[in-house]
Amino acid sequence: MVVAAIALPLGSGCRRPPKDKPNVLLISIDTLRADRLGAYGYRLDTSPAIDALAKRGVRFADTTVAWPKTWPSVAAMVTGKPPQTNGILLRPRRPLPAENVTLAEALHGNGYATGAVVANVNLAKSFGFDQGFEHYVESWAEEAVKQTGSASFRNSPGLVKRFTNGERVTDQALTALDALGNGKDKPFFLWLHYIDPHGPYVPPPAFARFFVGAHESRPVPLEDLPPYQLQIDPATGQVSNDIGFYEGQYDREIRSLDDQIGRLLKALDERGLTRDTLIVFTADHGESLWENDYYLEHGDVPYQTTAAVPLIFALDGRFRGGRVVEHPVGVIDLYATILALTKTSPPPGIASTSLLPVLEGEDDATPRNVFMISGKYEPWQLSIREGPWKLVLLRAPQDRDWLHAPERALYDLSRDPHEQHDVSAENAELAASLEKKLLGWFSGTPRFAGGAATDLKQLDGRTQEMLRGLGYLE
């Protein structure tokens, strides 16, 4: 039924309900901790535009990634399958197997025009993340050739990020919207993966004025910091070993990114697309700044610093703005949710739960489990969430050594958000039941078999250098 006139003031420009098959704008940010955003309670004003988006949409307060490292995290997000099933664990490196039906493939099959702009080299076409996209822009590519010619370049801290940043990704996104027809003839799916808060933290100079003096000086031994993160502090002219300096830089990166998110959403509005565009905002993982003596990195620990990311769904006129969902969900769930919202049939074998009923206001009292794999040693670290509880298994002895933690620990995040107190002895039955569910999930889910590994040394020199500059080939 077409509604010709609506008496209820739903907001500016709201004269009809959103289209049946809305456009989809998926924004994933590399290395963005949820707790560094105003909407998630941060004390500094790092994110006015993202906070405004959260007010327009539904914010999930407790969202966990599938693996706190770019390629396994994003692979789970775009396939709706956990790492052991979709074939993308930390190792061996291989392109995303074609057996998976990516979000782009599913939406393209349902009549969507598909495009992406990605700014992390780990999501390059050579790693197979372009499956299902008609337009796939490697954001760094053009500028890298311009600045360095065809020869391989010698990397130095920050150089990789000189080839792309939030401003460039946003420019490329607006060009991509035109290429996709701005949703006129058919709806579009546009995925943007921004790199900005990923180390090395090099915010644009205009942001140097933000958060001055907001972080106290906290020196650590220089050798504890990852080499790719090291920077000269302009205040001292020395290579900085001060976590306070790096925290400020990280916050400034987020603040500059936020300007670009604001610019992107404004452009969407100016093109008259806001009403018919589902906006999904999330991140591939967080960052451990100093916690657990794990500095300026992600991937190697199972803790909330790198596991917890923002997740916001906004579709004006469809969801009640400003709602907050407190129970744990996974980034992996956005796959089924986007399919449900676009009336796209889900392919078989996915392990992603649609959040649509929750988005539409249903109270979801069913206790849900959210699983995560992490670590650099095998057997991998495993963790499970259920309500406020988090059970962590450090299965590799090396992990128990360097993290000074037991093989199995249970945390009550409602009382102990920084995971300092193992309460498994006091809650033995719960710990045993969660462990059983966790191991059952890990060993019981279908396992990907096959697919050739990628030999990173066979990649071209520039790709190798860029991976190294982001800390991936240390």
Which residue lies nearer to Zn ion by CB, 67 or 442?
67
Question: For residues 51-90, which are near Zn ion according to CB under 5 A?
Answer: 70
H or E element at residue 400: helix 397-403
Tell me the residue nearest to Zn ion as measured from the CB: 70
Smallest gap from Cβ 345 to Zn ion, in A, equals 30
Smallest gap from Cβ 321 to Zn ion, in A, equals 29
Smallest gap from Cβ 72 to Zn ion, in A, equals 10
Smallest gap from Cβ 209 to Zn ion, in A, equals 27
Which residue lies nearer to Zn ion by CB, 248 or 286?
286
Question: For residues 279-318, which are near Zn ion according to CB under 5 A?
Answer: 284
Question: For residues 18-47, which are near Zn ion according to CB under 5 A?
Answer: 30
* Distance separating alpha carbons of residues 474 and 460, to the nearest angstrom: 17
Omega of the bond leading into 92 within 30 degrees of 0 (cis): yes
Contacts of 471 (CB under 8 A, 6+ apart): 199, 226, 227, 228, 229, 297
CB pairs under 8 A, 24+ apart, for 154-157?
Answer: 154/465, 155/465, 155/466, 155/468, 155/469, 156/469, 157/200, 157/202, 157/228, 157/229, 157/230, 157/231, 157/469
Contacts of 184 (CB under 8 A, 6+ apart): none
Which residue lies nearer to Zn ion by CB, 22 or 330?
330
Looking only at the bridges linking them, the beta strands covering 323-325 and 23-29 are unpaired
Question: For residues 247-286, which are near Zn ion according to CB under 5 A?
Answer: 284
Cross-strand pairs, 410: 391
Which residue lies nearer to Zn ion by CB, 130 or 284?
284
Which residue lies nearer to Zn ion by CB, 30 or 51?
30
Smallest gap from Cβ 307 to Zn ion, in A, equals 13
In Å, how far are 95, 284, 332, 337, 356 from 77, measured between CA atoms?
15, 8, 5, 11, 16
What is the DSSP annotation of 168-235? Answer: HHHHHHHHHHHHTGGGSSS-EEEEEEE-TTSSS----GGGTTTTTT-S---B--GGGS-GGG--EETT
What is the DSSP annotation of 112-176? Answer: -EEEEEE--GGGSGGGTTTTT-SEEEETTHHHHHHHHTTS-----TTSGGGS--HHHHHHHHHHH
Residue located via tokens 């372009």: 130
Smallest gap from Cβ 301 to Zn ion, in A, equals 15
Smallest gap from Cβ 363 to Zn ion, in A, equals 33
Which residue lies nearer to Zn ion by CB, 120 or 464?
120
Which residue lies nearer to Zn ion by CB, 170 or 306?
306
Smallest gap from Cβ 68 to Zn ion, in A, equals 8
Q: Are 298 and 68 in contact (CB under 8 A)?
A: yes
Which residue lies nearer to Zn ion by CB, 30 or 386?
30
Q: Are 394 and 374 in contact (CB under 8 A)?
A: no
Q: Are 406 and 425 in contact (CB under 8 A)?
A: no
Which residue lies nearer to Zn ion by CB, 169 or 391?
169
Smallest gap from Cβ 118 to Zn ion, in A, equals 11
Which residue lies nearer to Zn ion by CB, 82 or 317?
82
* Distance separating alpha carbons of residues 317 and 42, to the nearest angstrom: 28
Question: For residues 90-129, which are near Zn ion according to CB under 5 A?
Answer: none
Which residue lies nearer to Zn ion by CB, 285 or 390?
285
Q: Are 367 and 387 in contact (CB under 8 A)?
A: yes
Which residue lies nearer to Zn ion by CB, 199 or 317?
199
Decide if residue 386 touches Zn ion (CB under 5 A). no
Smallest gap from Cβ 231 to Zn ion, in A, equals 19
Smallest gap from Cβ 73 to Zn ion, in A, equals 7
* Distance separating alpha carbons of residues 190 and 373, to the nearest angstrom: 28
* Distance separating alpha carbons of residues 440 and 380, to the nearest angstrom: 15
Query: Nearest CA to 267 among 178, 327, 342, 197?
Result: 178
Radius of gyration over every alpha carbon of the chain, rounded to an integer in angstroms: 22
Smallest gap from Cβ 380 to Zn ion, in A, equals 17
**Residue 382 DSSP symbol:** E
- Residues lying near Zn ion in the complex (CB under 5 A) are found at 30, 70, 284
